[in-house]
Structure 1
Amino acid sequence: MALATSLLQPLLSKQQQYLNFFFNHLNLEEVEKVLQVCLRSKGLLVLTGVGKSGIIAEKIAMTLISTGTRTLYLPAINFLHGDIGGFGEDDVVLMLSKSGQTQELLHLVPYIHNKGSKIVAITSEKESSLSRASDYQVLLPVEKELCPFDLAPTTSTAVQLLFGDLLAIGLMTEKGFSIEEYARNHPSGSIGMKITNQVADLMKAGEELPLCKPEDRLVDVIVNLSNKRCGCLLVVSEEKRLLGIFTDGDLRRALEKEGAAALENSMKELMMKNPIVVGPHELAHTALKKMQEKKYVTMAPVVDENEVVGLIRMHDIVHEEL
């Protein structure tokens, strides 16, 4: 026991020193500016990162959601596989990277800016490429990692969590998020318990649905894909039976593979068969879990008695503050 204490006490003192360095050098004006950007946002806050920073980004997103801020966590790789199709000028993307040189994040910057979304770089390197390429930046001061080699993310991930909590509670306070609202987000006192909203309450339906026929050529329905702003087309029969789905990501891959010739292909040739489907009377929470269990899936056709009646998107569920 004495040996363990003699080992851990110096480590605890070092971590306290490193965290004090963070508290003493954090630029609160930078944090305040980002807080105001998030407050003014009419869309979603989207958190992303790679490796350990990605894990921290997901945790921060969960805290923001539970404290009343509409937020989505997306792994960096998902952006260019169709998910960026739902982004717009009202959304703010917060990118976490200690070095600010993470290539997967730098690669996303022009595509996110092209959608009109704002980017916030959260790094621990002042003159990083990500900071220079972003609209806003927050520098999280790190004196040294607790790791004896100064390599394993330890202190750097701790200060990322501290920043996330500061942002979440700052937004919660500014919005006047009440204890009653918090209780509704945490039934029975447990975070993440099932909720009561059904898929039918949130799904796209009727004229909002992006439908097409299997014999349609891509060139003839690509306008529908754009105008419906759902991020996909549902391929259906005359009886509205679901045959497949074609997403923004599928469009990008088809054009990369075949170029302009892909536009002459039929939807039957291009669609993905047997997509994940949900029923209109399922809990939205259940639909969200189904999508999260599969890579790159952020939307699901809604089928009732073998007929397509709607489309539910992860974006829609989050927007309802689930």
Structure 2
Amino acid sequence: MTEPHTLRPLPARRTTDEDLCQLGRAVIEVEAASILALGQRIGHDFARACRLLLDCRGRVVVTGMGKSGHIGGKLAATLASTGTPAFFVHPGEASHGDLGMITASDAVIALSNSGETREITILLPLIKRLDVPLIALTGNPGSTLARAASVHIDISVTEEACPLGLAPTSSTTATLAMGDALAVALLDARGFTREDFARSHPGGSLGRRLLLRIEDIMHMGERIPRVAPETLLSHALVEMTNKGLGMTTVVDTEGRVLGIFTDGDLRRALDHQIDVHNTRMAEVMTPGGRTVQAHSLAAEALQLMEKHKINALLVVDSENRLIGALNMHDLLQAGVV
């Protein structure tokens, strides 16, 4: 019975930690130089590509094979999240039916360092038949893909960062950077705002900070701790404990805010040896209290709390009637902090 075959790791070269660090630095330097060189090539062709994409009434279809495909997927995602509807199509799948995803109102961005990737060049006659704009990002201006494109953007590099000169490193970094340049130029040309970005990222922290309003997270109705100014402090403490917000509001008979009493106010009252069974809230409350409107952003509530070093805010209407309350814990739970 033969022994099962096992893969043996290649012997490692004798390298010091400094050797590894020097190689890492060299990679960064080569790739940085490749990106800097791209700036000299942004001109008429880049602007024309942007115009074609801005005029596109459908979707931007990004395609690329291998490592270029991974960069293409990222480019499509960046475009889609910054105001340019886009999606990625694998060129190998496109020639087996997925090309039907491209319509006459779309535009195509094709990525290929050589410009001769067979899975992409085989699609060129079909793209031409659809008569859609084709923007090519290649490292070879004389390639088949570059010649067939409506616009060609040169993303060539003088060397790969790989010591063997084989693994796509500088070339993919250059493609990624040029893709980002296109996406950001389009973002600005479309007047895309932080609020627009938040709407396409509702699950992200920025989306929560820019979209979430106080009315979405505030405590309302019976969940709001409230007492009258003549309420005894001992009874107010029960209200604070039951509602669990670390404070209670003090309101008049029409629900208008007169003041607030917090855990900090309680500690100060006890320091002065106040009788909790005979002291009324009007004597120990903090008059007024910080208030906000329900339609304000939750991020504004956070700014107020941080500015005034407080942990709770009262939400009032235009006539200063209490309609809600929230504290720092609510902002934490909502992901605003």
Give the TM-score band, short-chain normalised.
0.5 to 0.7
Distance between the aligned counterparts of 1:9 and 1:88, measured in 2? Answer: 45
Q: Deviations over 1:145-166 (max 9, x none)?
A: 1011221100000011101111
Identify the match of residue 106 of structure 2 among 78, 91, 94.
Answer: 91
Equivalent position of 1:19 in the other structure: 35
Following superposition, the deviation at residue 121 of structure 1 comes to 1.3
Per the TM alignment, residue 86 of structure 1 is displaced from its structure 2 partner at its CA by 4.1
| Displacement after TM superposition at 1:100 (Å) | 0.2
1:49 pairs with one of 64, 74, 81: 64
SS of the counterpart of 1:142?
Answer: coil
CA distance in 2, matches of 1:126, 1:17: 20
Partner of 1:109: 124
Contact 1:185/1:191 (<8 A) preserved: no
Q: Specify every segment of 5 or more residues in structure 1 that has no aligned partner in the other structure, as ranges.
A: 194-322
Q: 2:169 aligns with which of 142, 154, 167?
A: 154
Query: What runs of 5+ residues in structure 2 fail to find an aligned partner?
Result: 1-16, 209-337
Once the two structures are superposed, residues 36-89 of structure 1 have per-residue CA deviations (whole angstroms, 9 ceiling, x without a partner) of: 000011111000000000110000000011111110111002223333224332
Instruction: Report the alpha carbon displacement of residue 125 of structure 1 after superposing the two structures with TM.
Output: 0.7
What's the CA shift for 1:191?
9.2
Structure 1 residues 192 and 101, CA, compared in 2 at 3 Å: closer, same or farther? farther
TM-score, scaled to structure 1: 0.56
* Count of residue correspondences: 192
For residues 205 and 72 of structure 2, what CA distance do their matches in structure 1 show?
21
In our comparison, the structure showing a higher alpha carbon Rg is 2
> Are positions 1:180 and 2:195 aligned together?
yes
Would the aligned equivalents of 1:89 and 1:117 in 2 still touch at CA under 8 Å? yes
Select the residue among 4, 7, 24 that pairs with 1:8: 24
Q: Which residue of 2 aligns with 1:248?
A: none
Structure 1 counterpart of 2:50, from 32, 35, 40: 35
Structure 1 counterpart of 2:140, from 116, 125, 133: 125
Over aligned residue pairs, what C-alpha RMSD do you find?
A: 2.1
| Structure-to-structure mapping, 1:1-322, within 5 angstroms | 1-23=17-39, 25-189=40-204
Alpha carbons 2:61, 2:102 under 8 Å: kept: no
- Secondary structure, counterpart of 2:122 in structure 1: helix
Alpha-carbon spacing, 1:167–1:151, altered in 2? closer, same or farther (3 Å): same
* C-alpha distance after superposition, 1:191-215 (max 9, x if no partner): 999xxxxxxxxxxxxxxxxxxxxxx
Relative to structure 1, is the Cα distance of residues 55 and 29 closer, same or farther in structure 2, using a 3 angstrom cutoff? same
The offset of 1:15, in angstroms, is 2.9
Q: Deviations over 1:224-265 (max 9, x none)?
A: xxxxxxxxxxxxxxxxxxxxxxxxxxxxxxxxxxxxxxxxxx
**Gap change, CA 1:9 and 1:82, over 3 Å in 2:** closer
* Contact 1:121 1:134 (8 Å CA) reproduced: yes
Q: Deviations over 1:128-148 (max 9, x none)?
A: 111112222111131111011
State whether residues 75 and 180 of structure 2, in contact with CA within 8 Å, keep that contact through their aligned partners in structure 1. yes
Distance 2:123 2:207 in 1: 30
1:9-58 Cα distance to aligned partner (Å, 9 max, x none) = 333333333333333x3242211110000001111100000000011000
Give, in whole Å, the separation in 1 of the partners of 2:64 and 2:117: 9
TM-score by length of 2: 0.53
Structure 1 partner of 2:5? none
Distance 2:200 2:143 in 1: 38
Match of 1:218 in 2: none
Work out the percentage of aligned pairs sharing the same amino acid: 34
